[in-house]
Amino acid sequence: MEFQLIFIFYIACELFELFYVQKGSTLNAYIINLLELYEKGTVRFLCMHPSFYIVIFAAIYFDKFSFAAAVLITLKALDIILKLILLDKITMVKPLGIFAEMVERDMPLGYFFKSAIVGFYIIVFYISFSS
Count of domains forming the chain: 1
Domain that holds residue 71: 2-129
pLDDT at 29 > cutoff 90: no
Q: What is the average per-residue pLDDT within 75-95?
A: 87
Amino acid at 99: F
Instruction: Give the mean model confidence (pLDDT) for residues 2-18.
Output: 94
What pTM does this model have?
Answer: 0.87
Please check whether residue 101 is in contact with residue 19, taking contact to mean a CB–CB distance below 8 angstroms.
Answer: no
**Rama region for 63: left / alpha / beta (φ>0; ψ in -120 to 50; rest):** left
* pLDDT for the residue numbered 47: 93
